[in-house]
Structure 1
């Protein structure tokens, strides 16, 4: 009976240990989710992951995927990507002041228009109670670049990027931060709304995560600047 009791005690202790590990594992998963990227489209446009355009220079995962966006009719077609709900919360850019945003950008090729591809960043001024929209377009980081080759738009760290906001043109992210010290991020989305055009986007990077291909394995944790790693 004594041996049986000791054995039962050991089993109970092991079960308790496994249970505690499961709780820790679940808790860890809860605070480090991978935010899913969602797509939207209209006016006959298409969007999706494809291998046609290959991968951009900041995708070091070894895959050959990128987002392909086809817009057909000027003034009608549009398509893009965003996070929402729990995925937006996991990404953690929403609620940050502009000074706290550390990574925002993408690699692109195929089309380099006046205002697309771009990230539209929506903010709220906690002092004036006004909402603002900032337009972060690839062409204003890559003036004169060849659109048939990959170009990088690192809106936070590239001082040559011109960012358009409610006050007009801002020379670099530091100028945006200085001009709008009370703004906090409320939303963001990638969009191509110029046509006709075929655009490829890779290493779409928003604060703590980047997207380099479809599925959970294509969601990568960002470490420095525009670069990301699993």
Structure 2
């Protein structure tokens, strides 16, 4: 089942400004914070030196003052900036719909996410592979629409089973939504589980639409759609 959304409703579901979960996602690990902090410190020092050269009274000095303040706080506002850019990208398709289908398949795999060089006890340089367990989920509906999703494995994902109802927002550049360009987080209502790598939607608003959709009678047939993901 696919219910078209108005642009106003879509923008409530996919906000422009970063939500707290999105800010938390882009805040990252301690290493990510330290990188941002280093950029703030180095940038602040450079701007301070330039400011002292130009002097306080000049127009350039005033600009550098505000630039220095912004640079020194980069560690704080950068997650908002990157999340907002990601939201802008998700809002590019002009048409959207709230989709209901089912889980077709779910299994766990181990994926290579990176490599790093290190030295062993004998002083030899070795290459270490970093692997991560991931959930592979495929959802679809009676129209033949199928889409695979892979996300980092979470403990709650073990409750996901084939044939469970799945909800998500789909985005398209076409008014009839016949070609899907992007999808949002996937929600499994029966288990109250979110499947996503990134918290794209405003979840309170999403759950409200999800409850309304679950209460509607299911149509006999849905139009055929194709996935053309550019995520």
Q: Which TM-score tier does this pair reach, normalised by the shorter chain?
A: under 0.3
The structure with more strand, counted as a fraction of residues: 1
- TM-score, reference length from structure 2: 0.25
The structure with more helix, counted as a fraction of residues: 2
Larger radius of gyration, structure 1 or 2? 2
- TM-score, reference length from structure 1: 0.25
Higher relative contact order (CA 8 A, sep 6+): 1
